[in-house]
Amino acid sequence: MVNCNKRFRLGVNYWPRHHGVRMWREWEPEEIDREFAEMKSVRLDLARIFIDWDSFQPIKEYLSGGAKRRLLAFRDNESVTSRSNPCMIDPVMVKRFDTLIEIAEKYKIDLEPALITGWMSGAFLEPSYRRDRNVYTDPFMLKWQSKLVQFFAERYKNEKRIWAWALGNECNCMMNCFSEEAAWLWTANLTRTLHLFDPNHPIVSSMHSLGLTSSSTDNKWKIEDQAELCDILAVHPYSEFTPGCELDSPTDIRTVLHAAAESEMYSDLGKKPVLCEETGALGDSRFSQEETAKFLRLRLYTLLSQGNLGCLWWCHTDFTCGDIVPYKYEMMENDGLGIFNRQGNAKPVAYEFQKFSHILDAIGGKLPASEKKAVIIVPRNATSWLPCFNAYVLCKQVGIETDFAWEYDNLSKYQLAICPSVSSASPFWLEGWENLISFAKEGGVLYLSYGGASLRRFGEVFGIKINYRQKRSNQNQVMGFNHNPLYKGSSDWELVFGLTRGKTILSYKNGKPALVENKIGKGKTFFFAEPTEVFLSGIPNAYENNQIYFIYDYLRKSAGIKQEVGISDSQIERISHPIDERSTFLTLVNHHRSSVTVNVRTKRKIKKIEPITESVVVKGIHKNEFKLKINGCEGAILQMEF
């Protein structure tokens, strides 16, 4: 199978400027050639393209009396039937697809064809033969979708310009899917057909916002199901369409980290690589062109350091055909989503791709994996990703690189397990909760913040004696390590408790314990009586001045997690990527809007520092310390030798 992880991919989702979704019907290869040349001019190397379902498979059912089917034929050519054309694929469209491959080869741009393109830009572009059938469950629909992907897999299995097959475009948005099992079967039908006829190309899930667990009853499309059946998972991290992600400015640490956090969660829980297949600023009404460029710049650095396969922008160009369906009904699609404008001129965001491509050249195309000694626990009965997402941001603020895991996973390689804002009567499976307790007893540090959960052996694990739980009637204030206010917020539940073996680390203003440390076996537990991660998830600009990350830094130190590189600035991400025993790449992401100079400390004595990027200045190297100046809203990569 094609290795999709040789280089971090840079690309776009593509429809042509003057024809949009009518590309295949209103075929103009000269226009496509010009626009692939535009991609090449800013060093893009991957284009996601879309198969117009109705154009490629123009099936019409001819019925006899009693609505019995007499014949399947082409809509505009009754002489072409399913006997002469078993997959019912229009040969004219196939020739056009072949021409597109030739254009891609000319510019050395790989393709990710999305095969079942029903959902597009807010509209269901259904094939004319659907006739009220359910796309996911009707046998007739399942057969002909399978035939469509069979044709492409069989014909193009040896095509080197194809990078991967995408199942479609956000196929989970086409219509209501009645069950998890139906979603699984639909996916299995297509992926197994593709793998049968094309063992060479990987398959990308290409779904929008997958569900975490079976408790996420409103989303039948699950991470684990898609990961079981597909080779690559995809994220489409648009802030507007993801809970808790449209609260801050486009360059704020939480906004930027949305894509990396979602990708890390999908990858860790699904055990598959992840592609940021769509991202964007969603138009000129939201961000200026300058802010859009900054947003992408920071997102590229965070995705690269997270280990993503690449980043594709939505979309290549602004359209001149905004008066056609679906664009005429979706104003956002007419609001400047492209990296090129209607005249074919590159916007500032396009040049961010170009600059980043040169950086990739300098580091060999991708970064080595970072070391992770902490893990954020995703409860098996979780219904929301918000606690885990905000825990991820807090970890980033204090330089903790973290994985995500279910509570029953093997945690032996970690030193710190974080259970954020745990709620409900059944948050964990029993075997998982016992696994977390064992993790602490064997020498790990277990942290749990309280959102009203019921837990077996609660008091024993955390060294407290529970009196009762009640609804909280007022705001609560936690005092920090310097005895100044650390946290002031509200929560649904107050747990009234005393201490048994636990000791108070932080207190409420009234002196009652808020953060409790307890020794258990060879390790420790920490209980925080506030659902701080959920609280943060509803507060705009929560990460600009909050001090809550001090709790996470205390946890890091308690777990003995030593940073290869330490920076005392919560708005600068710092990620170490070991090359070998004596050298590492250091990725920095500055979320301040202006340049800052910070002191940097390393675990080991520094021998040499080589900046890969021009956005950073290093000076004053002495033993294991140096000063670093980094521009505002910038990323940087250093190569360090010890």
Q: Identify the pLDDT of residue 483.
A: 80
**pLDDT tens-digit series, residues 291-312:** 999 999 999 999 999 999 999 9
Q: What is the mean pLDDT of the chain?
A: 95
Phi, psi of 61 (to 5 degrees): -95, 125
Query: Nearest CA to 606 among 559, 556, 566, 561?
Result: 566
pLDDT at residue 331 in the model: 87
The confidence score (pLDDT) of residue 217 equals 66
The residue-averaged pLDDT of 423-449 equals 97
Q: Which helix (H) or strand (E) holds 410?
A: none
pLDDT for 229 equals: 98
Stretch among 65-79, 325-339, 386-400, 573-587 having the lowest mean pLDDT: 65-79
DSSP state of 398: T
Angle (CA) 164 168 169, round 5°:
115
Instruction: For the chain, give the number of residues.
Output: 642
Give the confidence band of 189 by pLDDT, cuts at 50, 70, 90: very high
For residues 607-630, give the mean pLDDT: 94
Q: Which domains does the chain have, with CATH numbers?
A: 9-58+87-363 (3.20.20.80), 374-558 (3.40.50.880), 565-641 (2.60.40.1180)
Question: What percent of the residues of the chain are helix, what percent strand, and what percent coil, each to the nearest 5?
Answer: 30, 30, 40
Calculate mean pLDDT across residues 309-332.
94
Residues whose CB is less than 8 angstroms from the CB of residue 62 and which lie 6 or more positions away in sequence, other chains included: 69, 70, 71, 72, 73, 78
Mean local confidence (pLDDT), 413-422: 98
Q: Supply the pLDDT for residue 208.
A: 94
Long-range contacts, 504-509 (Cβ 8 Å, 24+): 505/554, 506/478, 506/479, 506/480, 506/481, 506/551, 507/478, 507/479, 508/476, 508/477, 508/478, 508/479, 509/477, 509/478, 509/479, 509/485
Least confident of 209-213, 317-321, 529-533: 209-213
Locus of tokens 């920095």: 588
Query: Among 26-40, 124-138, 476-490, 626-640, where is mean pLDDT lowest?
Result: 476-490
Residue 63 has pLDDT above 90, yes or no: no
Structure tokens at 13: 């989702």
pLDDT tens digits, residue range 19-62? Answer: 999 999 999 999 999 999 999 999 999 999 999 999 999 999 98
Output the six-digit token pair for 440. 């602490």
202 Cβ partners below 8 Å, 6+ apart? 1, 2, 4, 164, 165, 231, 232
pLDDT score recorded for residue 481: 86
Give the pLDDT band (50/70/90) at residue 513. Answer: very high
Extended beta strands in 76-127, E state: 77-81, 110-117, 119-120, 123-124
- Contact of 542 with 254, CB cutoff 8 Å: yes
Residue-wise pLDDT tens digits, 207-244: 999 998 766 667 899 999 999 999 999 999 999 999 89
CA 498 to chain centre: 41
pLDDT for 16: 98
Tell me if residue 183 falls in helix, strand or coil: helix
Return the pLDDT at 593: 96
Query: Which tokens hold the place of 12?
Result: 């776009």
